[in-house]
Amino acid sequence: MSIRYIDEIDNLAGKKIFMRVDFNVPLDDNQNITEDTRIRAVLPTLNYALDQKAKIVLASHLGRPKGERKEKYSMAPAAKRLSRLLGKEVKLAPDCIGPEVHAMVDAMQPGDIIMLENLRFYQGEEKNDADFAKELVNGCEIYVNDAFAVSHRAHASVEAITNFIPVVSAGFLMKNEMNYFDKAMQNPIRPLVAILGGAKVSGKIEVLENLCDKVDKIIIGGGMAFTFLKGLGYNVGKSLVEDSLIDTAMATFKKAAEKGVKFYLPVDCVVADQFNPAAETKVCTVQEIPEGWMALDIGPATVTLFAEALQNSKTIVWNGPMGVFEMDAFSRGTFAMVSAVANSYALTIVGGGDTDVAVHRAGEYAKISYISTGGGAFLELLEGKKLPGIKVLEDNGHKH
């Protein structure tokens, strides 16, 4: 089954579109947006709908209000920023359901945009509640999902809502995500290299299992590497290790070997005597981590090894940093990998969360082929899972 995209729908003029977006942007203490990539990411879809003279109702969540109305989680800053980016008024509704919202939507003219208030002010959103979803629809005729980052969640505005609206489709951001993912996983140009980092093996074991069947090389960095290194018999000091997953990690390690997948682990690391930006640090090989010290970044020899492993790659998929890059002393490994990936001659796809922050901080984002907007959703795709939000788009995309 294929997904139907917004540009495959005839005549949007005057039609009411319910568009699920992900404007879950970071805010500082004064409610100022510190980074608006997620809002900019849906501009192509919005501009397309505006050019077609549609009426657009935007819906998103922000933060974790847990079903209660909390002003600090209001969509107001997002509506204001979008107004500025589009150069036109984006009205903020007082709520996301209810008579006042209905009246506002009824009064819309072609080319108008309304931003609904935070969907998660209601528990029905996360519970995928059918009645809440029905309320959200509010006379809209076309549903557009352009929120890849929440498509791994079966929430009311992502899944249940598709049962109550005649036309179900996806936007251009979703199209990009799916296209790049297909290029990486369905028919990649080889060699295909997966780089996995981040603190923990848990949550990535299924990804690793699935990747063993698809990739040519796997590179492991970040805290998760030390569960593997301990399993291989190294003394890793106070480094982060998930003891309960050592056997699972070793099974994956063996599976990779059996499949002929090259498996790279760090050969040296930056260690510290405590988890602290001001800690004493030194570089040592993984064989010589001092008792009571912890590894918080990959070392220079590992950077050289990993960069060398990327030399002949044609497709690179990366999720998770190489160390605690938020602290300056432990950021070099991640930033060096960003450079190696950015300067490779490969199709490079970076999966959300911390990794995209690192790419932006290193100033190399222009050289990455594609940066995914979804951390969790990206990981679940790598696991080979069907995401609920994408499944309903495939099932309902051509129901009319």
User: Catalytic residue numbers?
Assistant: 38, 200, 353, 376
Residue with the two structure tokens 């605690």:
324
CA 180 to each of CA 4, 162, 176: distance values in angstroms, whole numbers, following the listed order: 17, 25, 6
* Terminal Cα-to-Cα distance of the chain (whole angstroms): 14
Residue that the structure tokens 């940066």 belong to: 371
Is 158 within 8 Å of 147 (Cβ atoms)? yes
Q: How many CA atoms lie within 13 A of 228 on its CB side?
A: 28
* 24 appears as a binding residue in the annotation: yes
120 belongs to an annotated ligand binding site: yes
Q: For residue 159, say whether it is annotated as part of any ligand binding site.
A: no
Residue 171 labelled as part of a binding site: no
Check the annotation: does 305 bind a ligand.
no
User: Is 352 annotated as contributing to ligand binding?
Assistant: yes
Q: CA–CA separation, 175 vs 172, rounded Å?
A: 5
Whether 141 has a binding-site annotation, put simply, is: no
Other CB atoms within a 10 A radius of the CB of residue 6 amount to 25
Q: What is the DSSP string of 296-310?
A: EEE-HHHHHHHHHHH
* 23 assigned to a ligand binding site: yes
Q: Which residues contact 71 (CB under 8 A, 6 or more apart)?
A: none
Residue 351 assigned ligand-binding role: no
Is residue 38 part of an annotated ligand binding site?
A: yes
Tell me the Ramachandran region of residue 348: left when phi exceeds 0, alpha when psi lies from -120 to 50, beta otherwise.
beta
253 has binding-site annotation: no
Instruction: Tell me whether residue 63 is annotated as binding.
Output: yes
Element (H, E) at 78: helix 76-86
Q: Is residue 288 annotated as involved in ligand binding?
A: no
CB 269 within 8 A of CB 297: yes
What HEC string does 84-150 produce?
Answer: HHHCCCCEECCCCCCHHHHHHHHCCCCCCEEECCCHHHCHHHHCCCHHHHHHHHCCCCEEEECCHHH
**Any known ligand binding at 259?**
no
Residue 356 marked in a binding site = no
For residues 253 and 231, what is the distance between their CA atoms, to the nearest angstrom? 10
363 is in an annotated binding site: no
Say if CB 44 and CB 172 are below 8 A apart: yes
DSSP assignment of 155-214 equals -TTTTGGGGSSSEEEE-HHHHHHHHHHHHHHTSPPSSEEEEE-SS-STTTHHHHHHHHTT
**Which of 157, 145, 68, 82 lies closest to 113, judged by CA?**
82
Query: Which residues are part of a known binding site for (2R)-3-phosphoglycerate?
Result: 38, 120, 153
Query: Which residues are part of a known binding site?
Result: 22-24, 38, 61-64, 120, 153, 204, 326, 352-355
Query: Which residues are part of a known binding site for substrate?
Result: 22-24, 38, 61-64, 120, 153
Query: Which residues are part of a known binding site for ATP?
Result: 204, 326, 352-355
